[in-house]
Amino acid sequence: MIRKVRGLILAGLLAGAGLAACSPAATPDESVGAQANAGLSPVAGLALTCSGCHSSMGGGIADISDYTSEAIMTALDRYRLEVDGTTVMHRLTRGYSEDQLQAISDYLGAGQDE
């Protein structure tokens, strides 16, 4: 259940326009319950950065909304370890521990993993 909800919240964040779809879904009493809390976890905080660039806009930056956790982690690991990489992701991933990257991957990919 929580996994699904997380996936939903994320799909919303990543799709950009999807925020609209999330808000009306919560009823008053559960709004400070499981759903809100899943979206308020520390890893959700770490992942806030991603949606500033990654969306369904297309063009020069990948839309990662349909990536599995594994696909995301594979990409992040490659960025982190590639010494002569030239993209912003190479420089950004080096600021996170492997555990943090794994947690972000699990979180972002949760909806796609089943």
User: Does 16 engage in binding with other proteins (CB under 8 A)?
Assistant: yes
Residue selected from 2, 4, 36, 113 as contacting other proteins according to rule CB under 8 A = 36
Give least dist CB 28 to other proteins, A. 5
User: Does 99 engage in binding with other proteins (CB under 8 A)?
Assistant: no
Counting residues that bind other proteins (by CB under 8 A) gives 44
Residues 61-90 close enough to bind other proteins by CB under 8 A: 61, 84, 86-88
Contact assessment for residue 4 and residue 111, using Cβ atoms and an 8 Å cutoff: yes
DSSP state of 18: T
CA–CA distances in Å: residue 52 to residues 1, 4, 13, 17, 105: 27, 23, 9, 13, 16
Cα separation, 72 vs 4, in Å, equals: 18
User: Does 28 engage in binding with other proteins (CB under 8 A)?
Assistant: yes
